[in-house]
Structure 1
Amino acid sequence: MIDPVLLRETPDVVRASQERRGASVELVDEAIAADAARRAAISGFETLRAEQNAFGKQVAQAPKDEKAALVAQAQELAARVKNAQSVASDAEARFAEVAGAIPNIVLDGVPAGGEDDFVTLREVGAIPAFDFPARDHLELGELLDAIDMERGAKVSGARFYFLKGVGARLEFALVQLGLQRALEAGFTPLITPTLVRPDIMAGTGFLGAHADEVYYLERDELFLTGTSEVALAGYHKDEILDLSAGPKRYAGISTCYRREAGSGGKDTRGIIRVHQFQKLEMFSYIDPADAEAEHERLLALQEGMLQSLGLSYRVIDTAAGDLGTSAARKFDVEAWVPTQDAYRELTSTSNCTTFQARRLDIRQRGDDGKTAPVATLNGTLATTRWIVALLETHQRADGSVVVPEVLRPFLGLDVLEPVA
């Protein structure tokens, strides 16, 4: 949820954010009205409750012959207090509903517009060129006996697959490399749950505009997560963190699930857009004053991974209308995919400011003894989709693929050879 004080004192900031996202500006006025009604209802309830407490003392001290009449008045007052409490509760719920529908306030400098209105910050690395007809990642994966889409579909349906042999080993090698980099950067590794409760999923902002992407197990009232960010954000729910020694940084390893609702016939070939994949996710809890610097730090770790893997890429500043509910700013890192003659997203990193922490009640205690929400950030350091760019970028004419040097200690191979 956005900061109620920000909504109350600087509503134009919230309106401007909604405009840049292409979202409802009228919702801001609804939230302001709901906040006023909420505060008025709470004030009315507290006034009546104070009156009830004072009257209770009067009843206790009254002479016996006056008590019967006073008790009747006390009962009437108690009924009014109960009704006022109900009104206040309803007003609280209404405000939470309306304000909770407002996405995070975008940061200054984030481009306005939709999916195509991003700003390219930089392009790194030479575009790969081949003196032979390049094969796409699926053809290479089948030559290497590394990817089996046919049996994946047979077992689980469309957009499922098996990684086999060197394909499975390559994924593990990527995760191990990413984990090594995360450990060197001070992240604590976690293997996270992939099923979470509704309050955790809602708290991270994944039940808003993109709720149709999420798998829900109705019988168990649990959601399958599309990223370990969800479990990592919920890890410190309802806690007051001690950040005096620095941020809390975690690296979550998990299987991820996405319905890919609405994607239609897009990216049906290979493992670019699938329902299940592995991911190593960085997650930081930090003082809000240091959040933007931490965002750059996460981005640098991602770029370092892609550079060491010999991948050409670009970094884009995602436009406001293409941000998720929780993100105030998001950088996407897109690698060049030769057979598509295009950059495709491999990883992203988001600054969620205090949005998730407010929803999940995660705070820190300041020097003055008061508590305030922390900031949360996330960023992917390795995922299954990286295999696409790796195979296509490092392929050779005979269908073999050169293994980047940094992966060789984890993979135990210098070259992936076609299987006869």
Structure 2
Amino acid sequence: MADLKLSETRDLTRIERIGAHSHIRGLGLDSALEPRAVSEGMVGQTSARKAAGVILQMIKEGRIAGRAVLIAGQPGTGKTAIAMGMAKSLGLETPFAMISASEIFSLEMSKTEALMQSFRKAIGVRIKEETEVIEGEVVEVQIDRPAVAGAALKTGKLTMKTTEMEGVYDLGAKMIESLGKEKVQSGDVIAIDKPSGKVTKLGRSFSRSRDYDAIGPQVRFVQCPDGELQKRKEIVHCVTLHEIDVINSRTQGFLALFTGDTGEIRAEGVLFIDEVHMLDIECFSFLNRALENEMAPIVVVATNRGITTIRGTNYKSPHGIPIDLLDRLLIITTQPYTKDDIGKILDIRCQEEDVEMAEEAKALLTHIGVETSLRYAIHLITAAALACQKRKGKVVENEDITRVYNLFLDVKRSTQYLMEYQEQYMFSEASIGDGDEDGTNAMLS
């Protein structure tokens, strides 16, 4: 018998795309809002993270509506990472809209309209609804299909139970279709919204946890509900004002989505604007006015600019932001990372990108990060892993780091190269100055 060749298998524990900040899980603070040295993907920047934690607590307590926060620091000091940490810590219920200031100028709408849309995406509304639900563990789903095609619609029975009672419900075609879409089977704990007939799978009963040898990580086990099968329950829906705008543009309107007794409760959200110095004077004037609105979200902006020209004017200002708006901002500064911090961040990124690296290679990469930049050192991780793979190695060594370091230039070496070979590039100042009159005029035209 010929030898069977087994195909190579890979562990798919994480299938999402790895991004620049995919390792961030939160701000890395304890219950007293004190920053841990290394936690939730965050390293260093203790004072900035602590300040962000205080802002976060104010957001959760609803005491900071209409305020604005500026995160200012040098490039590559973790400004966007802090904003991502805030978003992760807020959870899914609090809206967090994230835009870059340059997006405002590339959309097919006016600048102020684009900003207003971003504001409304960042303002959340909780809709509290009281409705009747049938909640319990599915004992049996019995569906009777017609023997002849085109005969009467299929019918069925659904048996559900709680810890105290059991009931049987007749099913129509619509309910059978809903149960099929949710893939409801015996042992699932479900909730059926009585007015609308919507089926929600809450999880799988603990009593059925031993039914299968292998269970996926997405399976959630819950206790069998107690009390009566039919009960009145309060449900909270979280939507943004932008989603309400979209729904209201349809014929049925917004409140048609809800079937019970609804009451509206306002919730706050966060709008993060990166590279805020790219906004112009019109946008800054709009922000000034919008922050005074009672329905304004918390605005967090970030910039890496020092004293620079305000876009749309000839005036200079700190961070390229007008003084009147700058006066409204709570300013958080980030500091350059130390050598130890860079080493820890590179270690986290190696784990995130699933790259095994020798300690000597990590030390070399850390040294490169100190001499050049953290971002450049992070870029070399995957490139070094590919170089290691090409020589059929399993652990990234110094030779792999050196090889990719020579292949890809950092900013300093690229600038030095340009200085040496400037005359060979088109439109360089040297070539224009040294050229003849006809050649100079041709290039300038």
TM-score with structure 2 length normalisation? 0.18
Return the structure number with greater helix share. 1
TM-score with structure 1 length normalisation? 0.19
* Structure number with bigger Rg: 2
